Homo-oligomer: A and B are copies of this chain.
């Protein structure tokens, strides 16, 4: 049953080849001062930086820079960004990059006019902004996190050994995002396929929860089939525009709040994967891939009807003459075969983990309540052992 919910997603999307030209529509809506936020040098090397700056100048903007946003943006970087935004009297924060840059821009946007410590207020106490929020726009260069069309913002506090995400309300969503699939072409294959699995995992974390049969589940099955199909093509031909554009749009809808509406969600795979990431610094999507099959095979008996449905509706398994368990297992086998075909890392040993880390992995794993089985620490250990 669809539970009660509210839905609002006001982000304006410019999608397709040359989508960055959407800036020309949007920039005139904001004041003169733009804080341009980006990461390392990749946007300079691939020409996106020059393109964006040219449009900013053309629109008569004063550009202030905030470069060096790292893959896991820190509280120290956030403090620096806030200072830069204040000094610039920024009317708009323009994020050019992937999910981390966009997450960071949102963190700055709610902190510029905040009198309290943003880390404490937003990421420890999970409060909503009470100050004026500086609007954020986004030019996306990597797919996966959905940050271009949601309120998610993950910030890392190294001193406290914490990496925490706050999901802000729609007033913090980017006002606009420019999504050009060709901007994602330069990513190395390892990162590309890890991103594909991150998208897959976002959908599955929301799919494998609850016993209901609602529109959200059907929408997710559509997104999964689209992703599975296009990922196979993109693996062979990374510059296939059709595949990359479908994956980019699928990634946005996988995590822009729609498909979770009216249902419960799990997110345990992310908890397991993030524990691996914390101890090995491995690529996020690969940590999810490496723990997924042992996790799903472990919880399958507790969510058998949904795993059967997954096998039939997503993987096209023919259920005739088979037990539900056989159908469900065939679905997971098809998923594993697809994952291996993409070249995903299928065990945590290959990511640098080993048996000696098991205790620490278990300790670092948050146990979620929304899945088909609330894991015990022993089960977490068994899943990690199986993942070695």
Contact = CB atoms under 8 A, between A and B. Distances in A.
Interface of A: 1-19, 22, 170, 181, 212-215, 217-223, 225-226, 229, 241-242, 245-246, 249-250, 253, 261-262, 313, 318
A16 B5 contact: yes
Given A246-B215, A253-B215, A318-B318, A17 B1 contact: no
A106 to B, nearest CB: 18
Contacts of A226: 214-215, 217-219
Contacts of A170: 12
The quantity of this chain's copies bound in the complex is 2
Given A2-B242, A8-B12, A8-B13, A225 B229 contact: no
Given A219-B222, A222-B222, A245 B1 contact: yes
Nearest to A258: B253
A230 to B, nearest CB: 8
Closest 4 CB pairs of A and B: A4-B16, A222-B222, A218-B226, A218-B222
Nearest to A6: B14
Contact of A246 (B2, B18, B181): B2
A260 to B, nearest CB: 13
A7 B18 contact: no
A272 B214 CA distance: 32
A9 B223 CA distance: 19
Given A214-B226, A221-B225, 15 more contacts: A2-B181, A5-B13, A5-B15, A6-B14, A6-B22, A7-B15, A10-B10, A15-B262, A214-B242, A215-B246, A215-B249, A215-B253, A219-B223, A222-B222, A222-B223
